[in-house]
A and B are shown apart, each in its own frame.
Chain A
Amino acid sequence: MPKYKIMFSKTGMARFISHLDLLRIFERAFRRADLPMAFSQGFNPHPKMSIAAPLAVGIEGKQELLEIELTGKMEENEITRRLNSSLPAGVEVLGVKQAQGTKPLMAMVKRAVYSFECMPGKEIKQQQVEQAVSSLLNEDYIIVKRSVKGRVKEVDIRPGILSLEGKLTNGEIIIKAEVKSGSEGNVRPEEIKAELEKAGIPLGAGCKIYRLGLYGDEKGKRIDLW
């Protein structure tokens, strides 16, 4: 049965929708759009659909990926059109492509690019931003604490930070980070934010965080999943 990749965005108030709720929203949108989802076998059939990488509540996703199996082939533009007239405010399909190969998207996601737009709590200079960024990059290791199933674990996120840039535009701090994503070496955006604050730049409470895109990795090089 044909598999499709769907690129979508989750912006505005919709960024407060959780991962599981988003899956439900898509399932319902497919049904409203009368798109024939393929279901798993067994006692409790569910649609063969997966979101490539969960996005934390509160972060806007600019180019998120979802994969779904349909029971029959359909024209890609038609899928886009129908979904976009069936999705709630803030969730929008940007494109649909038939998926090639058998490897699930979820297993192919290795990198994510995030950006942060923050109004600092106090006056700040471009130089301070640059210094904080380079001091982080100069570290050999950056240990963060994560609680996994109720137990606190220490993780070195330095190897997971692939690139980090920062600048000041009209008093607003803009950070761009490319980090490892997925099952190996995953780095969370709020960890980057916390480390930058430790390094001396006050990002402030009202930071807006975006995930700009998801990518694969082949021998240390970023590859497009689209």
Chain B
Amino acid sequence: MQQKLEKLLPYVQKPARYAGGEWNSIKKEWNSVKVRMAFAFPDVYEVGMSYLGLQILYNLVNQREDALMERTFAPWVDMETIMRREKVPLFTLESHRPVKDFDILAFTLQYEMTFTNILNMLDLAGLPLESACRDEKMPLVIAGGPCAFNPEPLADFIDLFVLGEGEEVLNEIIDTYIEAKEKNLSRRELLFKLAGLEGIYVPSFYQVEYHGNGKIKSVSPKYPGVPPVVNKRVLKDMNKAPFPTHSIVPSLGAVHDRVMLEVQRGCTRGCRFCQAGVLYRPVREKEPEILLKQAEELVKNTGYNEISLTSLSTADYSKVRPLIKALLDEHSQKGVNVSLPSLRVDAFSVDMAKEVQRVRRSTLTFAPEAGTQRLRDVINKGVTEENLIKAVTAAFAAGWHSIKLYFMIGLPTETYEDLDGIANLARAVVKAGLEQGVSRRRLKVTVSASSFVPKSHTPFQWEPQDKLEELRNKQKYLKEKLKDKYIVFNYHDSKVSFLEAALSRGDRRLGPVLKQAFEIGCRFDGWDECFKYEKWLEAFEGTGITPQWYAYQRYDYDDILPWDHINTGVSKRYLILEHKKAVKEEVTADCRSGRCPGCGLCPSLDIKPLVLGGEDHAQI
């Protein structure tokens, strides 16, 4: 296979994507282990290699003596063409073996618009798309990650879904697999055993019934012993969690090509549109001493010149100030920087950015998400105009001259007044820049507006998405309102958001649509240059269902939602309460504040938030 690849790679863009052999990649002796896993990332190498979860699981499996894990990524369209023409099956980067030879093929589901890539990868691997058509000799196909929390659109294709954090359950899956192999159990018997593990959902063991109006009547286990509701897995203590200090250093510039130091998991803010805030609950901070040690080893083992403090909201980490100081003391001498991937909208964050950025990058990014206080209260984004103006003033004063602002349009209850609010905020930022004496030639405020997509397991899961036409009108309106020589307005094609909405709240009936979309050529739908809207519409044709039905559906509280049998730990009662509060423009306290908002997660999953607190505790 490698020889064949060497002949083909000169004809593709960025051939290093398929070469392997990177520093810290692990190629184990094939016959020395009992279980071989292929980790599949359904996007290109540069995106997949930026994903910390891959590094964590790769390290975890390869640390076992009885198992190995190799990697495979979605081939870019040029490579796919050559692979199909030359009959090269999907292969892993470590041993360049066909994926079909592995025992377990594990996909990560980071984004709905990678679903057609998953089907393409199965097909390139020479595997039938549907689980039901794959035989005992073929790999067990599993999937995890955020989109596994509404797994239904992929139910036909994936043998089992892993819900929640994979660090513990993956070992249990491997152990169970080995045991089943030794006992010569059938695939079905193996799946029964796996379905008994906490956090495992085997879609083929459930029966879905529908009402005449298309809504779901019931989702129930087909067999005794299969749990009616599957709970997500969550690690109790991040300090004890396995964390890779020998992460693979990509040979081709990845999107995030630096040390990724995860300072905490989870976020306490409770923004009502945010799915990650629910899925990764509760917040669990790591001890600074452990982080310092991990950072030291990572720098030594990777040679990176930048340490990025990653998490959903790093500025909220209790010990962020002392951690940054200690990291800079330790590493800045050797030319190693510290960076913060996301800033909170406040002066505290700007202060930190000032501290870490020896090299003044030109742009600082903030996400107020909505233009008026009213709408920010609806979404529970605890940010005021004053916060923003203080933050940007501090940034301009410190020498930044370009500010980027992220907003969402199409949020529930949004009116044109809220859009005016976006324009007003942008102008207020420009004003602050001019007042701070930023050169008129360099001052720039970039406004990015993405379209709201209602996501499962959030307080907005019942809400419809704005109609395509309405989103376009809003974009046009904003474009007009934001005509200013200091302001740049960016927005995305809302057709992608529309399909994302259909998939993210979809059910099993979307399986045939996905298959059809793949068959007529949809790939890399998250990439502008590959997205083919007409093909998607064609895929829906003749199936009797429409993307509109899913994207524009306003569900009732007592409707059974396609993902109701998946439990994140946050109760439906709480989500209803939050949705009602949103409509009444009432905010909910941050879980960090000590005033428990009562989401139900801690008692339900027998866990507690872990917040270190202390002197440098960020202000809320």
Contacts and interface: CB of A to CB of B under 8 A. Distances in A.
B304 interface: yes
Given A13-B2, A13-B6, A32-B300, A88 B23 contact: yes
A43 B19 contact: no
A17 B303 contact: no
A13 B21 contact: yes
Contacts of A226: none
Interface string B21-54: 1110000000000000000000000000000000
B598 to A, nearest CB: 48
Contact of B302 (A32, A43, A45, A47): A32
A18 B252 contact: yes
Given A31-B334, A43-B359, A21 B303 contact: no
Interface stretch (A22-30, A72-80, A102-110): A22-30
Interface in A32-86: 32, 37, 39, 43-45, 47, 57-58, 86
B19 A17 contact: yes
Given A27-B305, A30-B303, A58-B15, A206 B249 contact: no
B303 A31 contact: yes
Interface in B465-516: none
A20 interface: yes
Given A32-B301, A32-B302, A205-B7, A24 B253 contact: yes
Contacts of A32: 23, 300-303
Nearest to B11: A205
B8 to A, nearest CB: 9
Interface string B240-265: 00000000010111000100000000
A39 B358 CA distance: 14
B19 A44 contact: no
B20 interface: yes
Contact of A21 (B16, B301, B359): B16
B19 A14 contact: yes
B400 to A, nearest CB: 14
Contact of B359 (A27, A44, A58, A88): A44
A213 B303 CA distance: 29
Contacts of A225: none
Contact of B7 (A25, A30, A206): A206
A49 B520 CA distance: 49
Nearest to B253: A21
Contacts of B335: 37, 39, 45, 47
B15 A57 contact: yes
Contact of A58 (B10, B300, B303): B10
A193 B223 CA distance: 66
Q: Which of A13, A57, A86 has the most CB of B within 10 A?
A: A13
A27 to B, nearest CB: 7
A89 B21 contact: yes
B140 to A, nearest CB: 29
A114 to B, nearest CB: 15
B84 interface: no
Contacts of A58: 9-10, 15
B360 interface: yes
A31 B21 contact: no
Given A30-B303, A88-B22, A17 B252 contact: yes
A171 interface: no
Given A20-B253, A21-B16, A86 B303 contact: yes
B252 A21 contact: yes
Contacts of A43: 359-360
Interface in A189-210: 205-206, 208
Q: Which of B5, B7, B360 has the most CB of A within 10 A?
A: B7
Given A32-B301, A58-B15, A86-B303, A17 B251 contact: yes
Contacts of A18: 14, 16, 252
Nearest to A58: B10
Q: Chain A: interface secondary structure?
A: mixed
Q: Which of B11, B23, B302 has the most CB of A within 10 A?
A: B23
Contact of A13 (B19, B303, B305): B19
A13 B20 CA distance: 8
B44 to A, nearest CB: 15
A208 B10 CA distance: 10
A90 B253 contact: no
B213 to A, nearest CB: 55
A36 to B, nearest CB: 9
Contact of A28 (B6, B252, B303): B303
Contacts of A37: 335
Nearest to B334: A31
B19 A16 contact: yes
Nearest to A18: B16
Contacts of B359: 43-44
Contact of B251 (A30, A45, A88, A206): A88
Given A13-B6, A16-B16, A58-B10, A28 B302 contact: yes
A31 B336 CA distance: 10
A12 B20 CA distance: 11
B486 to A, nearest CB: 24
A8 to B, nearest CB: 15
A20 B251 CA distance: 10
Contacts of B2: 13
B221 to A, nearest CB: 48
Contacts of A39: 335
B332 to A, nearest CB: 11
Given A21-B252, A24-B253, A58-B10, A14 B303 contact: no
Contacts of B304: 28, 31
Contacts of B14: 18
A16 B7 contact: no
B21 A88 contact: yes
Nearest to B6: A13
Contacts of A88: 21-23, 249, 251
A44 to B, nearest CB: 5
Interface string B516-528: 0000000000000
A45 B337 CA distance: 11
Contact of B23 (A12, A27, A28, A30): A28
Contacts of B19: 13-14, 16-17
A205 B304 CA distance: 38
B259 to A, nearest CB: 11
A30 B305 CA distance: 11
B245 to A, nearest CB: 13
A103 to B, nearest CB: 26
A128 B468 CA distance: 65
Across chains A and B, which 8 residue pairs bring their CB atoms closest together, nearest first? A28-B303, A89-B21, A31-B303, A16-B15, A32-B303, A13-B19, A58-B10, A206-B7
Interface of A: 12-14, 16-18, 20-21, 24-25, 27-32, 37, 39, 43-45, 47, 57-58, 86-90, 205-206, 208
16 contacts: A17-B252, A20-B253, A21-B251, A27-B305, A28-B23, A28-B304, A29-B23, A31-B303, A32-B23, A32-B301, A32-B303, A43-B359, A47-B335, A58-B10, A88-B22, A205-B7
